[in-house]
Amino acid sequence: MTSAASTPGQRWLIGLLMGLVTLTPMGIDIYLPSLPAMAAGFGEPVSALQASITLFIFAVGLGQMLIGPLADRYGRRPVALGGAMAYLAGSALGAAASTLEVFYVARVIQGLGACSASLVAFAAVRDKFSPAVGARVYSYLNGALCSVPALAPMLGGALAVHAGWRSTFVFMVLFAFALMVLLARRFEETRAAPTSPRGPLYSLPRYLPIIASGRFLYFALFGMAGMAMILVFVSAAPVVLVQQLGYSELGFSAWFGGNAAINIAAFFLAPAFIARFGRHTMVRVGMVALLLASAMHAAAWWWMPLSAWVFMLPVAVLTVGFSLALGSGLSLALEPFADRAGTAAAVYGLFQMSGSAVVATVLLDSGMAPQAAMALIGLLIVAPLLLLSPGMARRLKG
């Protein structure tokens, strides 16, 4: 196989998988501009609405452990359809919610639906594509995943201005419905044969071979570290750019959207670099870029007055490096687990989503400056991984 989408069927499959992975960032970003209006509508502080983002992210992360074995036992197709249905139901409940408690429930349901969709998307790549081609497909999926943060806030803001914040959840209902119809008509089962058909669905032995794998943990920790640095940036960017530097919402959108555009470009360039240089080389390139970004953040925090360029330039380096490496790291982590790809994808998702959220939350809640937090993640997690890289290279060749 010479390309990631060499037949119409494969192009359809990749398109559907890209649709599945967009549910998670859409559920986070589309209603961000509406948080103050939502807080006023519910009669709650904005911080109470921000908690709905955390609930969603943790549902996505922890749900991986519940849904991964289902995808291995019963197949990818029913889990994908069920995820789209859950996302639709959660979005509808969110649109109709009259109390904050109901809205929280809606967000958890949405998160579980998004989790199901994302897990199936990444497991299906492992099912249908060779490792080398799969790394390129993962990069396309991650490109779609990271395109949404550039577009969803603008779409959500426009919808909220013209039709109120509930219209953002109505849009998610319609998107999930369209995706569900396409899945029902076009998405065929990707699992070649039942995996682990006997025994309890949830048991420690299912996870032990994965979490005991040094190779898996190595690449999962890299994914967690990169995502934690990005979460610190996303959480801190409004405070730094708007409150501290005085940019308007339009100015903030320009900086945020510019970084997202760099992210998208790097993700879609990644397959060509993977084909030329190999997966592990690209992971090492990503680690070097993350460490360079960490050093730039530390230097800026200590010695330079804060400005948009001082804050955003290291983020651009981080974005490019992580975008080029993420697909390769994911592919290398999942490759040894053909018999339990769904479960392995679930554990990886737990690291990348819940693990990174915990790291970012702990650092930011400590009062640490965001530049210092990103630098510390690079120092404590990425630097040791890079030092271990030669040994991992020998292991992959052996």
Same domain, 241 and 151: no
Looking at the structure, tell me whether residues 221 and 148 fall in a common domain.
no
Decide if 47 is inside a domain. Answer: yes
Domain match, 165 and 212 both: no
Which residues are within 8 A (CB) of 286 and not within 5 positions of it... i.e. 6 or more apart? 222, 226, 321, 322, 324, 325, 326, 328, 329
Q: How far apart are CA 249 and CA 342, in angstroms?
A: 40
Domain boundary among 189, 218, 238: 189
The number of angstroms, rounded, from the C-alpha of 14 to the middle of its chain's C-alpha atoms is: 17
Which tokens hold the place of 231? 């979460």
CATH of the domain at 22: 1.20.1250.20
Token pair 């990069």 is found at 139
Q: How many domains does the chain have?
A: 2
pLDDT of 339-385, one tens digit each? 777 678 778 888 888 888 788 878 877 888 989 999 999 999 999 99
Residue 200 lies in a domain: no
159 pLDDT higher than 90: no
pLDDT, averaged across the chain: 84
Give the angle 339-343-345 at the CA atoms, nearest 5°.
Answer: 105
Q: Is residue 198 part of a domain?
A: no
**Contact assessment for residue 229 and residue 357, using Cβ atoms and an 8 Å cutoff:** no
398 has pLDDT over 60: no
How far apart, in whole angstroms, are the C-alpha atoms of residue 182 and residue 191? 19
Residue 393 domain flag: yes
Is the domain of 148 the same as that of 112?
Answer: yes
Q: Tokens in use for 10?
A: 């494969």
Query: Residue 100's pLDDT band (boundaries 50, 70, 90)?
Result: very high
Listed residue (112, 93, 100) closest to 38, CA to CA:
100
pLDDT value of position 382? 94
In tens, the pLDDT along 206-257 reads 788 898 898 999 999 999 999 889 878 877 777 787 778 887 666 767 787 7
Q: In the block, which residue shows the tokens 């036992």? A: 73
Whether the predicted pLDDT of 299 surpasses 90: yes
Q: Please, which residues have CB within 8 angstroms of residue 276's CB and are 6 or more apart in sequence?
A: none
Q: Do 175 and 293 belong together in one domain?
A: no
Reference 252, options 233, 235, 238; nearest CA is 238
What pLDDT does residue 216 have? 93
Question: Comparing 82 with 188, which gets the higher pLDDT?
Answer: 82
Q: Which of 164, 189, 214 is the last residue before a domain boundary? A: 189
- Residues 323, 262 share a domain: yes
196-208 pLDDT, tens digit per residue, is: 556 677 777 778 8
195 lies in some domain: no
| Shared-domain flag, residues 250 and 374 | yes
Q: What is the mean pLDDT of residues 99-111?
A: 95
How far from the centroid of its chain's Cα atoms is residue 394's Cα?
29
Domain hosting 265: range is 205-398
Residue 4 has pLDDT above 60, yes or no: no
Single residue among 189, 217, 236 that ends a domain in this structure: 189
pLDDT value at position 116? 92
Determine the Cα–Cα distance for residues 382 and 222; give it in Å rounded to an integer: 7
Across residues 44-58, what is the average pLDDT? 77
For residue 63, being part of any structural domain is answered with yes
pLDDT higher at 234 or 93: 93
Q: Is 152 in the same domain as 214?
A: no
Confidence at residue 6, expressed as pLDDT on a 0 to 100 scale: 60
Query: HSE (CB half, 13 Å, CA atoms) of 328?
Result: 27
3-state class (DSSP) for residue 134 = helix
Same domain, 183 and 214: no
pLDDT (tens digit per residue) in 261-276: 887 788 778 888 888 8
In the chain, where does DSSP find H-type helix? 8-21, 23-29, 35-42, 46-74, 76-96, 100-128, 131-163, 166-186, 204-211, 214-238, 249-277, 279-303, 308-334, 341-349, 356-365, 370-377, 383-387, 389-397
- Are residues 172 and 264 both part of a single domain? no
For residues 174 and 300, membership in a common domain is answered with: no
Distances (CA, A) of 146 to 125, 149, 310, 390: 18, 6, 23, 30
Instruction: Identify whether 196 is part of a domain.
Output: no
> Does 247 share its domain with 365?
yes
DSSP string, 245-298: T---HHHHHHHHHHHHHHHHHHHHHHHHHHHHH-HHHHHHHHHHHHHHHHHHHH
First-last CA distance in the chain: 24
Residue 197 lies in a domain: no
